[in-house]
Structure 1
């Protein structure tokens, strides 16, 4: 969940920055001399800004994850502990079984939450990171199921597909926000219209980005079922189900503490937050694997 939200936030900030810079320098002007909108110019401008924001976010994804989560990368040639070497070997074994030619970077980071994630701009530049709590709270079979799930994300190209989807969503966000801002600027005094238009663009872009994130998060939930299937194929269905059951048990143990929000392979069970969840319900995922 943290990785996905970090990607969306980075994308929004990059997109806003690019849009502001281009607007300040008058690049991609879409308002014609009569005060109307040139929809073709606006659509081209929106596509450039939208996809640039998504692609830059993808390119920065691995670097950002390492910095934000303080990931310690484990290199096979380093003097690793027994547990660290086992983790690296497990990731490499499952990656090879998935047909990957380039092994992902493997990392560990300090956290009291059971959590793991895979990220990176491509299969050649991917990262699988696991929290310390995952290694202490879950047994080896459950960890293998989780690793298989994360490797499946890389093999399935989920980050690239999400980036393309985010680019399309961004394009509509930029396009619609400027039309809405133009409409608002038309009903205010002419002398303050440019300032109102500038501020309205930023406000509408943030609002529409939040709405657009629902589409991206819906895809995120959909792709988890495919990653579960991939994890079952790589690590074994029993281990994948065991991993999900282990996460359920951990969630139950932590339900009365501040650690209730587990960031990997599960969602907050409250139905009202489902639209903003990155993962589907654990029981539904287990049911699908069993079927």
Structure 2
């Protein structure tokens, strides 16, 4: 995670330096007015985006526990909890990852999620519905999917990516508001204040930015599915996704919507470009293709 964070900071500095150079050239060539504080605005926006995403990442595990009502388990709570902890431990050992905290949250939905600022501080949690209702072979594949998210550092990447998007939204909304012509109309009415323009611009730019985060979220689901197939079996992961498809009414978006992109499955969406998860059919097809390309894979 340290290397990923350092690369993220270097990338942000490179982006800020590049945009600053372009802004300086714009002022030098007369394309931009020299009296606007665009470069300080740029630096402040990216600083705020980096700090905000870092804080969000650090509190993600505890926030998830509180938001979802997760109860941490160690195996002494009963047979189901013991199986859950032992299975996660076995998968962590196979993936050469630290043992995460394990939790259960009370909900009839069939779902699971992983979160945390690092593999050493990760949390893997499942709903009571999926723990009680899904067969163990398929549930093990679901847990392997979540462990693959931990191993891939997806929680870190998602948080840092959102920080970059937030920084661009903050900067562009204010830069556009500052650069828009501000003249009185024919009746002498004054234009709206800049602050009144920023919120609509942030809304529009935020919607555009969500397309990027949704695309990455869908991409990482395919990677986590492939990781689950390596840790368990492609057939088990296919079976788990098929069962999730049969229980779409139990994929409740009402609770913990902020954690939707971290769960094994999301609710159906009419707006595919904004969906945090690919359609289950596409994920199943990708796993079957992987299985066909590697006949030795169960």
Does the TM-score normalized on the shorter chain lie above 0.5? yes
Instruction: Find the partner of 2:195 among 198, 213, 223.
Output: 198
Match for residue 279 of structure 2? Answer: 281
**Structure 2 residue matching 1:45: 3-state secondary structure:** helix
Match for residue 248 of structure 1? Answer: 245
Which structure 1 residue ranges, 5 or more long, are not aligned?
Answer: 1-33
Question: What displacement does 1:238 show?
Answer: 1.7
Q: Is the 8 A contact 2:113 2:124 kept in 1?
A: yes
Which structure 2 residue ranges, 5 or more long, are not aligned?
Answer: 1-32, 254-259, 290-298
Match for residue 146 of structure 1? Answer: 142
CA distance in 1, matches of 2:183, 2:50: 31
CA distance in 2, matches of 1:53, 1:202: 19
Q: Is the 8 A contact 1:181 1:197 kept in 2?
A: yes
Closer, same or farther: CA 131–185 of 1 in aligned 2, 3 Å: farther
Q: Does 1:108 align with 2:104?
A: yes
Q: Does 1:164 align with 2:160?
A: yes
Describe how 1:172-251 pairs up with structure 2 within 5 A: 172-183=168-179, 186-187=182-183, 196-251=193-248
CA distance in 1, matches of 2:121, 2:265: 26
CA distance in 2, matches of 1:144, 1:119: 18
Question: What displacement does 1:260 show?
Answer: 5.7
Q: Is the 8 A contact 1:173 1:209 kept in 2?
A: yes
CA distance in 1, matches of 2:86, 2:212: 36
Instruction: Find the partner of 1:121 among 108, 117, 123.
Output: 117
The structure whose Rg is larger is 2
Question: What displacement does 1:38 show?
Answer: 3.0
CA distance in 1, matches of 2:53, 2:197: 22
Q: Is the 8 A contact 1:265 1:282 kept in 2?
A: no
CA distance in 1, matches of 2:251, 2:148: 26
Q: Give the paired residue count.
A: 247
Q: Is the 8 A contact 2:74 2:81 kept in 1?
A: no
**Structure 2 residue matching 1:124: 3-state secondary structure:** helix
Question: What displacement does 1:56 show?
Answer: 1.3
CA distance in 2, matches of 1:180, 1:167: 20
CA distance in 2, matches of 1:176, 1:64: 30
Kindly report the root-mean-square deviation, in angstroms, between the aligned alpha carbons of the 2 structures: 2.4
> Normalization by structure 2: what TM-score?
0.76
CA distance in 1, matches of 2:264, 2:163: 25
CA distance in 1, matches of 2:175, 2:207: 17
Question: What displacement does 1:214 show?
Answer: 1.6
